Amino acid sequence: MGERDLVITDGLGEPQAGEVLALAEAATRRDGVAPLSEQSLLTLRAGRAHALLVLEDGAVAAYAHVDPVPEEDGGGASGELVVHPDRRGRGHGRALLRALREEARGPLRVWAHGDLPAAAALAGSEGLRRVRVLLQMRRPFDGTPLPEVTVPDGVQIRAFEVGRDEDAWLRVNGRAFADHPEQGAWTLEDVRARQNEPWFDPAGLFLAERDGQVIGFHWTKVHPEPVGEVYVVGVDPSAQGLGLGRVLTLVGLHHLRERGLPAVMLYVDEANRPAVRLYESLGFTRHAVDVMYGAPPVA
Ligand SMILES: CC(C)(COP(=O)(O)OP(=O)(O)OC[C@H]1O[C@@H](n2cnc3c(N)ncnc32)[C@H](O)[C@@H]1OP(=O)(O)O)[C@@H](O)C(=O)NCCC(=O)NCCS
């Protein structure tokens, strides 16, 4: 192996940013999964990444970036790291992970896309814990039968009305996701921001009502790919256990299929066994997996 240099920089200009993009593409071809998120690639291309580079004889052998995590999302820092496929097994990954932890100046989360054995071994041997496993599940609309919807007695399903249903939706969302800090804390501003997105369609946001009260919802989304998404499903705690989650999910799936989409995807925490089982029973299978490793501050 040649000489190893570590460079930490806020202003990654050309041609190094181009070298990093080529490295990420080579890793994607080798591993079958992209090592950097879409957001990280955007920041990198814009020359705004807080970057750590391992140079081997002047060439970029490995790349990592680190970003502060806002206090309301738990604070600390989050990052990703990747070693060029032709330069692995030479200690670059370990050296870069240690530098990343120093650079985080506090607790660090590292996202590993694809749950690859090398990442698991490196993280484990550096004392990092698997904090979260986020699954992307998918289901094709390829003729696999979709069960019919049977709405429980006394429950009505209708589409969201902009300007009328926001408060009721927020109340149920807050109650359904009381244990889920990010989703449960949504405000009117968060809803409005999404209503202003090009993909927003109130006809794809379904509400379940009982005695005039909203008790659950299914918000669907359509991506340009094109693929549908089960964006958020929530059921008020007072109405859980009636099978409403399944009913609402199915209502949205029928809607997405009728729009002619080839498939539907969703993200779910692997630890959320009831949800994973529900989606499996509706024909979803694992499509991709992201693992978040947590590192305590360097002593
Ligand atoms: C994970 C990754 C960063 C490792 O980089 P690397 O430079 O090859 O790793 P190192 O040479 O520093 O090896 C560190 C440890 O990783 C583990 N490791 C490396 N390659 C491995 C492999 N093919 N299988 C199993 N474990 C492996 C070993 O525990 C190794 O320690 P050891 O040499 O004492 O046995 C690299 O494979 C990569 O870029 N993967 C894709 C991106 C990714 O998953 N990033 C998240 C990292 S948490």
In tens, the pLDDT along 215-270 reads 999 999 999 999 999 999 999 999 999 999 999 999 999 999 999 999 999 999 99
User: Best mutation site among 101, 116, 122, 293 for ligand 1, i.e. most ligand atoms within 8 A of its Cβ?
Assistant: 122
Most confident of 36-40, 204-208, 293-297: 204-208
The fold of 4-131 is Aminopeptidase (3.40.630)
CA angle, residues 105, 268, 292, in degrees to nearest 5: 20
- In this structure, the strands spanning 77-83 and 59-68 are antiparallel
- The fraction of the chain above a pLDDT of 90, given in percent, is 85
Q: How far is CA 114 from CA 128, 132, 148, in A?
A: 17, 13, 34
Mean pLDDT over 267-284 rounds to 94
The residue contributing the CA closest to ligand 1 atom 25 is 118
Ligand 1 pocket, residue 64 CB under 6 Å: no
Question: For 19-35, what is the mean pLDDT?
Answer: 97
Closest CA to 99 of 8, 204, 231: 8
Q: Cβ atoms within 10 A of the Cβ of 34, count?
A: 18
The more confidently predicted of residues 216 and 45 is: 216
Is pLDDT of 212 > 80?
yes
- Do the Cβ atoms of 41 and 21 come closer than 8 Å? yes
Provide the pLDDT for residue 247: 98
Q: How many CB atoms lie within 10 A of CB 10?
A: 9
Question: Which amino acids are annotated as binding site, given as ranges?
Answer: 38, 81-83, 182, 221, 229, 233-235, 240-246, 267, 272-277
pLDDT reported for residue 74? 75
Distance CA 32, CA 231 (A): 25
Q: What is the rounded distance in angstroms from the CA atom of residue 70 to the CA atom of residue 73?
A: 5
Q: What is the pLDDT of residues 86-117, one digit of tens each?
A: 999 999 999 999 999 999 989 999 999 999 99
Residue 143 has pLDDT above 90, yes or no: no
- Per-residue pLDDT of 75-84, as tens digits, reads 889 999 999 9
CA distance 142 to 153: 31
Q: With 80 as the cut, is the pLDDT of residue 182 above it?
A: no
Tokens of 56: 């081997």
- For residues 199 and 193, the answer to whether their CB atoms sit within 8 Å is no
- For residue 39, the model assigns a pLDDT of 83
Average pLDDT, the chain: 94
Q: 232 with 217: CB under 8 angstroms?
A: yes
Does residue 27's CB lie within 6 angstroms of at least one atom of ligand 1?
yes
| Atom number of ligand 1 nearest to Cα 112 | 46
Confidence of residue 70 (pLDDT cuts 50, 70, 90): confident
* Token pair recorded at residue 230: 């089960």
**Pocket flag, ligand 1, residue 81 (CB < 6 Å):** yes
Q: What is the pLDDT of residue 189?
A: 94
Q: Could you give the angle at which helices 188-195 and 166-176 cross, rounded to 10 degrees? A: 120
Tokens matching residue 169: 């939706």
Rounded to whole angstroms, the Cα distance separating 95 from 288 reads 27
The interaxial angle of helices 38-45 and 16-31, nearest 10 deg, is 160
Where are the CATH 3.40.630.30 domain residues in the chain?
4-131, 143-261
82 CA distance to ligand 1 centroid (A)? 9
> Going by CA atoms, what residue is nearest to atom 30 of ligand 1?
122
Binding-site members for acetyl-CoA are: 81-83, 233-235, 240-246, 272-277
Q: Which CATH number fits domain 143-261: 3.90.1310.10, 3.40.50.300, 3.40.630.30, 3.50.50.60?
A: 3.40.630.30
Q: What is the pLDDT of residue 198?
A: 92
Q: Is 1 in the pocket of ligand 1 (CB under 6 A)?
A: no
- The strand pair at 77-83 and 108-113 is best described as parallel
